[in-house]
Amino acid sequence: MLLRSGDLAGFARRLWRRLVALLNALGRLGGPMSHVQWRERWVDLTDGEREAVAGWASATRFAVVVGDGPPEAVEATVASLAAQLHDRWVLSASALDVAAVGTTSGVADWVVGLEPGVVLHEAALATVAHAIDADPDLRLVYADFDHLDGDGAPCDPCFLPDWNPDLFDGLGRISPLVGRHRSVAAPQGGGGPPLSGRVVAHLPFVLASRPGHMRASDPAPVRRRWPVGDPPPRVSVLIPTRDQGRLLEACLTSLRSVTTYPDVEIVVVDHESTEQRARDVIDFLADDQDALVVPFSGPFNFAAMCNRAAEAASGDVLVLLNNDTEVVAPDWLNEFVGQLGRPEVGVVGALLLFGDGTIQHAGVHPGVGGLMGHSHKHRPGNDSGYHGRLTVAHEVAAVTGACLGVTRALWDRLGGLDEENLTVAYNDIDLCLNARAAGLRVMLAPHAVLHHHESVSRGYDEDPARRARLAGEVATMEERWGDALHADPAHSPNLSLDGDGFNPASEPRVASPWRT
């Protein structure tokens, strides 16, 4: 179909995704690749590559500051500096002296601070300089890294996302290899300075190795609590439902008895419920002054039901919520409202757990397990996530409409959900992509925790009619968003697109500059 339509770029994207999935599958059949093997294949230089990197011409100069530490650790770091294929660098006593620091070819405009014991890849400074030369507007450059075990062997890679300031600020660290222009203030506490992503470059290549014992001394993650306002805005929780009275009753009970947020309106959209228990629960809402029932008839259309609920709601904040959810964290709405009060945030989502307490949703990632997949799926509910990311709120590509918050102002500005072309699937993803296209962040708030009994109320798309509808919705998304559909502010081209989304890919999806 893509070839007949002339969409060669789309065909190439789909072919590449299938090829990568096949390579990953073949890698699994042959047994998991160790990180040492992965490095040998994708990180270590051949003689030809080493010669090519040494031939890169760059005028970028670095002042390198090595922190205090045991002599053997400092010596290891300095030895890796001496082996650099880029020779325009000099050791500086401290970052404060950088303005006066010069190399053999002039004043150093860039600062690299290194912990003692960190060992740089021989092409590390050359690759950072290569990125700076390609974009003179850059002010911060950082790279992926791994760790060294007790025997000095590489292990435990940390594949970072592109600039994700909430993640880095919350974790209190970016990478052991960060180059910053001397006009940029040194980051406080290891997190990222307040920069626009347009002047930050992420190099998705393992260019530094950090001693494993340093992980115990990492900064503690910081849970930032954003104010909800005084008085806090009214929140309208929009719940589409049909029958399933037991689930609906549990959902409403948890909303009222567990949630501590002070001003909540419940808007239930009743899609022709006939089950007696469901009717009893819905009819009981008639006596609740903070509840509203909106009737809906016709074929199931999740987007239309949410749109009708939003039209009837009185809140300044709208929360889409499935009827098969139950509140776990009492302050989940405080998390939502606090995030949505930030001018840079457009949409927020929750950490959702299966009934057995394992993770069902911790953000949506393009390409993971298909067009869109949930990260960290089936990990324990208290798992800290890939290198600690589930301990702090951070930007993601999208969040599920099973529990999604947005301000009414943005909902109206974006036109709500697409009830014409995305009646059931991907309307939530489309809303998130619209918010991101407007320059706003989509945030995962991992401290906002609910249970989600996934697809209990509607079932899976197994019959032919549902499969045909789903195929049409996928086509709509691919045609509407193109390459933007696959952009992910929380993932890495070094991570696999199968499993829970955080295993190393057998082949990176971005080639290192010495291999292009």
Q: What Rg do the C-alpha atoms of the chain give, in angstroms?
A: 25
Q: Which residues pair with 319 in a beta bridge?
A: 237, 405
**In the chain, what are the domains?**
32-217 (3.90.550.10), 235-486 (3.90.550.10)
Task: Kindly list the distances between the CA atom of residue 317 and the CA atoms of 23, 64, 362, 412, 427, in Å, as whole numbers in the listed order.
Answer: 44, 48, 21, 11, 19
At 29 the pLDDT is 42
Element containing residue 107 per DSSP (H, E): strand 106-107
Q: Are 206 and 235 in contact (CB under 8 A)?
A: no
Q: Please name the residue that has the structure tokens 């996934």.
A: 454
Q: How far apart are CA 492 and CA 315, in angstroms?
A: 37
Q: How far apart are CA 181 and CA 200, in angstroms?
A: 10
The first and second tokens of residue 153, run together, are: 């062997």
> Tens digits of per-residue pLDDT, 35-51?
999 999 999 999 999 99
> Tens digits of per-residue pLDDT, 199-254?
999 999 999 999 988 776 678 899 999 999 999 999 999 999 999 999 999 999 99
pLDDT of 19 over the 90 cut: no
> Tens digits of per-residue pLDDT, 478-508?
999 999 999 999 999 999 988 778 999 999 9
At 28 the pLDDT is 44
> Tens digits of per-residue pLDDT, 424-456?
999 999 999 999 999 999 999 999 999 998 754
The full 3-state SS of 477-508, as one line of letters, equals HHHHHHHHHHCCCCCCCCECCCCCCCCECCCC
Q: Are 398 and 372 in contact (CB under 8 A)?
A: yes
* Residue 74: exposure state from Cβ atoms within 10 A (0-12, 13-18, ≥19): middle
The first and second tokens of residue 241, run together, are: 């439902």
pTM of the predicted protein model: 0.89
> Tens digits of per-residue pLDDT, 186-203?
765 455 567 888 999 999
Q: How far apart are CA 490 and CA 506, in angstroms?
A: 19
At 459 the pLDDT is 45
Q: Please name the residue that has the structure tokens 């190393």.
A: 504
Farthest CA pair distance, the chain? 84
Instruction: Determine the average pLDDT of the residues in 262-282.
Output: 96
At 94 the pLDDT is 62
Could you give the angle at the alpha carbon of 227 between the alpha carbons of 226 and 232, nearest 5°?
A: 135
Q: Residue 343's pLDDT band (boundaries 50, 70, 90)?
A: very high
Q: How far apart are CA 204 and CA 509, in angstroms?
A: 10
Encoded amino acid at 18, one letter: R
Average pLDDT of the chain, as a whole number = 89
